[in-house]
Amino acid sequence: MPTLITFTISAFVTFLTIIDPVGLAPVFVGLTSHLSQAQRKVVIARATLISAAIIAFFAIVGRFLLDRLGISLYAFNIAGGVLLFMVAIDMLFGRPSGARETKEEEEEAMTREDISVFPLAIPLIAGPGTIATTILYVGQASTQPMLLLSVFLAIASALALAWVAMRSSSWIIQRVGRTGIMVFSRILGILLAALAIQFVLNGVTTFAHTSGFIK
């Protein structure tokens, strides 16, 4: 039971941090300033559903793709940990993360009519970091139903919070302010950095055991 609880908390915190619902609020407001309230609701619904579909796809076939490419889970643990650490560093220093959206993609997004697919669903919500996290946690859960359920609930909770944050984006900015959002993002960045290092350590430990360096 303690393992299930620890795993569930870790999954929830990681997905909440990498999707960063509160951080979506100012981005969403900036991208949809020219849309009506009804159009915003449609964009939010589409972006959330598309993100869920992308995450579900990689949750189902992610491990299969790794096996076909000959990539071991511990190697993906290390690579995923490094990627998440890079995202965490950008969050800590308040920089736009290239792992989520590049400057060129941000400029293109401002001129697009439909932003639900790009850049909201990809890469802001279901970006490389989210995909890597999904494959990592599904791989760790393996075939244990309770752990897989924990991953599903963590993803669903993070997406639900992202939906709420986008629907309440104007209210969040008015009440919390951009400074408050930046402070919250930096706190999440610290947590994500620690979790990223743990992923790397887990990968290195598994490799050491597999290779016979540690018995």
Location of structure tokens 């969403």: 28
Q: What is the mean pLDDT of residues 21-44?
A: 84
Location of structure tokens 């993906």: 76
CA distance 105 to 109: 6
Average pLDDT of the chain to the nearest whole number: 83
Q: Is pLDDT at 137 greater than 90 in this prediction?
A: yes
Residues 6+ apart with CB under 8 A from 4: 146, 147, 150
Q: Is pLDDT at 201 greater than 80 in this prediction?
A: yes
Joined together, the tokens standing for residue 100 give: 């989520």
Q: What is the mean pLDDT of residues 83-103?
A: 70
Regarding predicted confidence, which is higher, 199 or 113? 199
Q: What is the pTM of this model?
A: 0.76
What is the tens place of the pLDDT at every residue in 121-136?
887 899 888 998 999 9
* Residue 202: predicted pLDDT: 84
Joined together, the tokens standing for residue 197 give: 């290092």
Q: What is the mean pLDDT of residues 140-169?
A: 93
Location of structure tokens 């430990």: 205
pLDDT band at 36; cut points 50, 70, 90: confident
Return the SS3 of 142: coil
Q: For 70, left (φ over 0), alpha (ψ -120 to 50), or beta?
A: left
Beta strands in 135-215 (DSSP E): none
Joined together, the tokens standing for residue 15 give: 């997905």
pLDDT band at 151; cut points 50, 70, 90: very high
Q: Is pLDDT at 103 greater than 90 in this prediction?
A: no
CA distance 116 to 132: 21
Give the single-character DSSP code of 35: S
pLDDT band at 161; cut points 50, 70, 90: very high
Q: Is pLDDT at 63 greater than 80 in this prediction?
A: yes
Give the single-character DSSP code of 102: -
Q: Is pLDDT at 10 greater than 70 in this prediction?
A: yes
